Amino acid sequence: MASQSRPRHHYRYDEYLVTARDSAIKLEFADGEIHALAGGSKRHNALALRVGAALHAGLGPGCIAFQSDQRVRIPVANKAVYPDVTVVCGAIETDALDPETIVNPTLVVEVLSPSTEEYDRGENWLAYQTVQSLKEFVLVSQESMRVERYRRLESGSWEYLEATTGAIDLVTGARLELEELYRGLPD
């Protein structure tokens, strides 16, 4: 006799918001499915903090950085996510159903984990490309000293830059110095 799998519940975004508000853990939303987020490693958390601090210290006027508890809505992709660092330049726009959720990030940073790297480089990156306010998407490796930057050009295409030494300048006015980011990180 063949086993039959039980159909998954397909959540609406408003149902997700109710579930997320009542949850003791962070939950992301992806096209009708709700996913619990695992905590990061010591190395991941230290890198995310250092990136956020560097961004905060170097931001131009009218820009503000948020750490990983800030939810970002990607309406075209029907997603709600928690990037490691988010920057908004200009007025902060929020989701119509949740005034605590940002919809207009200027820059998003994801610190790559072994368990999330494929997702961040694939599905997540494709979703972020649909956010018209997004000017840069930055990936920070926790395995090696490597920062990758995707910058939206005026044509709408994306320019790619990878750095394994030196620094990367960002459209927000901030600069990521790789030696400072990676110096003395925990294993």
The domain made up of 41-182 has a fold known as tt1808, chain A (3.90.1570)
- Mean pLDDT over all residues of the chain? 93
pLDDT tens-digit readout, 101-129: 999 999 999 999 988 899 999 999 999 99
Angle, vertex CA 158, rays to CA 127 and CA 50, nearest 5? 75
H-helix segments, 132-184: 178-182
What is the distance between the alpha carbons of residues 3 and 5, in angstroms, rounded to a whole number? 7
Q: Is the pLDDT of residue 1 over 50?
A: no
Q: Is the pLDDT of residue 57 over 80?
A: yes
**Structure pTM?**
0.92
